[in-house]
Structure 1
Amino acid sequence: MKKVGIIGGSGFIGSYNTQKFLNEGYQVKVSTTDLSKKEKYQHLLSLEKAGNLEIAQLDVENKSELLDFLKDCEIVIHGGTPFQLDVKDLQKELFDPTIKGTENFLEAVLKTPGIEKVVFIASVAAYNTNFPFLPTGKTESDQITEFDTPFMSDEGIPYAQAKFIANQTVDKFISDHPKLNFEITSVSPVGVMGKSLSNREDSTSTGIQFLFKNKIAPNPFIQMIYDMDVLWALVDVEDVADAIYKAASTENIHGKNYLLSSESYRVSDISLMLNNQAPLGKPQIVYSSDLALKDLGINFKPASIPLNNYSS
């Protein structure tokens, strides 16, 4: 039985990853920043096949803890930098864990024998730090693909900038180490939607769905999204977990970074669907998922499915 280590395996996306790998017959080691805070990972212990689950404490900025976490894993999923909008200390809470944590992780992986595959859960921000707005020069009739030049703006939210830089760090590592003994693959999901597997209240993805459902604007950024009725690209959290599993179990995709996206709808229509009402507009495809379909065999569900799952 192979072992997969999932950094961030108790978060919104991470919990679905943990469930997926357990269901596929893997031993799963999940990181948590503090073992004493059982409310962060308690929901995982009731998953089917949780007998093959191990919870381990890990600070991604601590190199010795990283080495200890990785030492018996054949596959590693790095998703330990959750989507955050409201951060008090940008350097400490966001940039250090995201960028320095990525650098430390890559250094640790290089020192760890037996690893066969690394999958990074990046972000649509790796291709467009303006998300949910379009990159400069793109219109709503254009499609964004993995073959476009990644777009970074100094005006992007700090989370997006941090994820963009972290992805560049991964690309540079791959370029600097052309003869690795393992493959690195990344996935870049757009706005991830669906029902949480836990009762945790710190998931921004779940929080955004709550805001959109109830048309609440706690800050100027969300208010601007309503005012502009932004065209928001969506993807089902279950599809993201499937894509991560496929990326981990598919060979000869080293160095690729897959956009994971289904349909795009106006935020006003997303609010309607979250309230079990039909959208007024038609969906568009802003971010292409052709490469994920071709290489990973992922057919993304219509956006209405995860939105209905959240509201159920």
Structure 2
Amino acid sequence: MKTVGIIGGSGFIGSYITKKFLKENYNVKVSVTDIKKSEKYQHLFSLKNSDNLNISALKMEDLEILKDFISDCEIVVHSGTPFQLDVIDAQKELFDPTIEGTENFLEAIQESPSIEKVVFIASVAAYNTNFPLPARGKNPQDKFSEKDKPFFNEESHPYAQAKFIANQTVENFIKENPKLSSEIVSVSPVGVMGKSLSNREDSTSTGLQFLFKNKIAPNPFVKMLYDTDAEMASVAVADVAEAIFKAATISGLHGKNYLLSSESYSVSDMGLMLNNELPKNKGKVIYENTLATQDLGIKFSLMQKTLNSYSE
């Protein structure tokens, strides 16, 4: 039985990743920042094969504990960077944990010869920090793929900037270390949607769906989405977990970064579907998913079904 370490494996996306690896009979180690807050990970023990699940406390800035956590893993999935839209201190809340955490993690895997595969959960922001708005020079309906030049805007949301810089850090690490003993693959999901596996109320992804469903604008960023009726590319959380599992178990993918996306819909149409109503417009695949479809064998779910499931 192989062991996979999932950093951040109790969050919205992380829980689905944990569920997938347990289902496939892996020994699964999940890190949490505070072991005392069992309400944030207790739901994982109701998953199939949870006898093979172990929960450990880990903060990415503690290099020695990080090294110990991954020391017996053949696969490591890094899903541990914060996703938040309301920010008071961007440096402390986003840039430091995201970028410095990535640097620490890369140092740790260099010293862990047992690791065969590393999967980073990047973000569509690694390609376009303006998301869900188009990159400069593109219209909302223009296609975007892995072949496009990544676009960075210093006026973008701090979360997007932090994810972009972290992804550049990973890419530079791969270039500077051509003789790594492990493969490194990244996935860059667009807006991740679907039903949470837990009852946690602090998930930004599920919270965003709640806002769209009820037409609530608690901050300038969300208000901007309503004001522009932004076209948002989305992807089902279960599809993201499937893609990560495939990226972790298929060899020969070193250095690739896959866009994970289903259709794009306007925010107003997403609100309709979250209320089990039909959208007024037909969805379009703006952020291309051809590479993930070909290399990983992913068949992306229709967003209407995914958004309908949120309320079930």
Q: Which TM-score band applies after superposition, normalised by the shorter structure?
A: over 0.9
Q: 2:125 — aligned with what?
A: 125
1:165 aligns with 2:165: yes
Q: Is the 8 A contact 2:82 2:94 kept in 1?
A: no
Matched residue type, 2:295: D
- Distance in 1 separating the partners of 2:254 and 2:273: 37
User: In the TM superposition, what whole-angstrom CA distance separates every residue of 1:212-268 from its partner, at most 9, and x where no partner exists?
Assistant: 000000012111111111111010000000000000001001000000000000111
1:198 aligns with 2:193: no
Q: Is the 8 A contact 2:133 2:140 kept in 1?
A: no
Q: 2:39 — aligned with what?
A: 39
Structure 1 residue 116 displacement after superposition? 0.1
Q: Is the 8 A contact 1:10 1:30 kept in 2?
A: yes
- Distance in 2 separating the partners of 1:165 and 1:141: 26
RMSD of Structure 2 on Structure 1 (CA): 0.7
Q: Is the 8 A contact 1:236 1:305 kept in 2?
A: no
Q: Is the 8 A contact 2:144 2:288 kept in 1?
A: yes
Matched residue type, 1:126: A
Structure 1 residue 87 displacement after superposition? 2.1
Q: 1:307 — aligned with what?
A: 307
Q: Is the 8 A contact 2:135 2:151 kept in 1?
A: yes
Q: 1:144 — aligned with what?
A: 144
Moved more, 285-294 or 79-88: 79-88
- Distance in 1 separating the partners of 2:214 and 2:254: 42
Matched residue type, 1:15: S
Matched residue type, 2:86: D
User: In the TM superposition, what whole-angstrom CA distance separates every residue of 1:191-232 from its partner, at most 9, and x where no partner exists?
Assistant: 000000001111100000000000000012111111111111
Runs of 5+ unmatched residues, structure 1: none
Structure 1 residue 108 displacement after superposition? 0.4
- Distance in 1 separating the partners of 2:85 and 2:123: 14
Q: Is the 8 A contact 2:60 2:66 kept in 1?
A: yes
Matched residue type, 1:136: R
User: In the TM superposition, what whole-angstrom CA distance separates every residue of 1:75-133 from its partner, at most 9, and x where no partner exists?
Assistant: 00001013211122222221111000000000000011210000000000000000010
Which segments of structure 1 move beyond 4 Å, counting only runs of 4 or more? none
Structure 1 residue 68 displacement after superposition? 0.8
Matched residue type, 2:99: I
Is the partner of 2:175 in helix, strand or coil? helix
Q: Is the 8 A contact 2:82 2:97 kept in 1?
A: no
- Distance in 2 separating the partners of 1:155 and 1:257: 24
Structure 1 residue 282 displacement after superposition? 1.0
Is the partner of 2:159 in helix, strand or coil? helix
Runs of 5+ unmatched residues, structure 2: none
Q: 2:248 — aligned with what?
A: 248
Trace 1:90-101 onto structure 2 (pairs within 5 A).
Answer: 90-101=90-101
- Distance in 1 separating the partners of 2:106 and 2:123: 18
Q: 1:261 — aligned with what?
A: 261
Trace 1:53-132 onto structure 2 (pairs within 5 A).
Answer: 53-132=53-132
- Distance in 2 separating the partners of 1:268 and 1:183: 41
- Distance in 2 separating the partners of 1:147 and 1:202: 35
Q: 2:134 — aligned with what?
A: 134
User: In the TM superposition, what whole-angstrom CA distance separates every residue of 1:118-169 from its partner, at most 9, and x where no partner exists?
Assistant: 0000000000000010000011332100011100001110000000000000
Q: 2:8 — aligned with what?
A: 8
User: In the TM superposition, what whole-angstrom CA distance separates every residue of 1:21-69 from its partner, at most 9, and x where no partner exists?
Assistant: 0000100000001111111101011111100000011000110110110
Moved more, 24-33 or 82-91: 82-91
Aligned residues: 312
- Distance in 2 separating the partners of 1:263 and 1:302: 7
- Distance in 2 separating the partners of 1:89 and 1:183: 34
- Distance in 1 separating the partners of 2:62 and 2:44: 24
Structure 1 residue 278 displacement after superposition? 0.3
- Normalised by the size of structure 2, how large is the TM-score? 0.99
- Normalised by the size of structure 1, how large is the TM-score? 0.99
- Distance in 2 separating the partners of 1:113 and 1:179: 12
Is the partner of 1:77 in helix, strand or coil? strand
- Distance in 1 separating the partners of 2:225 and 2:6: 33
Matched residue type, 1:250: I
Give the % identical residues: 66
